[in-house]
Chains A and B, each alone.
Chain A
Amino acid sequence: MGNYLSSTAKQRQGMLSEIGLTSMDELYAGAPAHLLIKDSLELPDGKPEMAVREEMQKRADMNKIFPVIFRGAGAYRHYIPAIVDTVVSKETFLTSYTPYQAEIAQGILQSIFEYQTMICELTGMDVSNASVYDGATAAAEAAAMCRDRKRGKTLVSAAAHPDVIETIRTYCWAMDCEMELVPVKNGKTDLFALNEMLDDKTAGVYLAQPNYFGLIEDAKKAGEIIHQKGAKFIMGVNPLAMAVLKTPGECRADIAVGEGQPLGMHLGFGGPYLGFMATVGDMTRKLPGRIVGETKDAAGNRAYVLTLQAREQHIRREKASSNICSNQALCAMTAAVYMAVMGPEGMQEAAGQSMSKAHYLAARLTEIGYTRIHEGEFFHEFVTSSRVPAGRLMKHLEMNGILGGLPLEDGILWCATEMNRKEDIDRLIELIREVEI
């Protein structure tokens, strides 16, 4: 039971005899016979589609869907317009591959070209690649872009997302390169310490905007400090926040990276998401991954192709700048459809509402003694103290269908988006009040 073969047993027998064999077993005559596992594969029996659906649904039902979420920390529940899933579920987009044959892949190629343009507009940078795996790997790849023979060290703000920090750390370790954390002061990157840490071995500095604690960093000043010491400035940004916040381009960043999930991707227990990467014109040829460019065919028609492939592994092999040979094409398309249907106003509205609701939430939490532990402007996340053990508070909220903020060592990291209605926030406050000190 269960396979997607198209040939019948009779056809198979005919095909076998065409190639001069009598049984399927003979196909593996070239392999050591004692290694063949025959019939002993320990897997369950296959199932027809209806039974598979039931099994997968049963498993899905073991998860708890929270109708109301006040948790972000790198994955955000925003409203996803209906057309987004419709477009990216189209069979051809699902089942095609990397557009090697441009003539029959103009659809995928153009969609990436449009995505690249949107990422440039959003970040204020000159050039974007076709995307990489996620925000964390984009950051790690960006760190590698900055290194040269003289400068091998990467500095990373301790106010970055923990998974981003850990991923950069792993990549740096693998390349035998140094990586150090720039300390946090009052929830923000300590720019004084950064200035002290920068030396002539520092290749690049990664700073998150807004940072992990939701605070808006003085990225422009950080950029000045970094550039003064001859290092490159990598800004990791929330793409939706870029609809309102100063862009990496305006902050003179050399590379902008980030997690594209807020642009129309489901939470999906962590993925697939989207790593975007954009840089300044001078660093174009250091960008890893696929890049789509515009050209013409012999008749003068506009056409798109994968380009600047001389950077890549299939040509450069061990001299390539990265081993990446794919992108998150369907996720890049998701982001592009999201941005296209939201438009500039819709993006600003979603960003603005997220920010406004987070500020309303912060004000209401303050009223009941859950005060912010950091000063400074924030986007749609912030940290408060907790008046009760966070675990107990979360349990109570969970029983009422609410996923509360993320408990951190010294507080709770809250998030609001346009999905959190005022009445949800007011109800949250009432529920928190019910948890006795």
Chain B
Amino acid sequence: MAAALHERVLARWSSAAREAVIAHGTLVLVVDPEVLVEVVGSLKREFGFDMLLDVTAVDWPGREPRFDVVYHFYTTREFVRVRIKTQVPESAPVVGSLLPLYNAAGIAERECHDMYGIEFRGNPDLRPILLYEGFVGHPLRKDYPKQLEQPLIPYRK
């Protein structure tokens, strides 16, 4: 059943995707940021992917464009997952927000913005959620010094 749905998605979107592979039994589409919202909207409306599982990113230092933004979707009718990746450069790490399509995108994008500094255009609330106000930098970027602390209150002595 997963394979049949994967075939239908591929037939619709493989021409627009930079890359379309089956990895570990999950369909992976790599799309341009410009068409991301359009592809996801089609997945939701035409193929029934009604649940946004997670939004995260991957930092590839030295690669251009530097970041992968990774989305996972799930259909609760056919129990199939699909992974969408899009690549954004360090100079303008901007993708469109999925908030109009999925309410769950609000908090997931906020966390991704915390950790990787990805800007989600259209998300009105990108305040820190796991970090705190005043934290400088994005700790899951590879160039964040791994032992750098930013304490909120001064240490004793």
Are A and B genuine complex partners? Answer: no
Interface residues in chain B, defined as those with a beta carbon under 8 Å from any beta carbon in chain A: none
Interface residues in chain A, defined as those with a beta carbon under 8 Å from any beta carbon in chain B: none
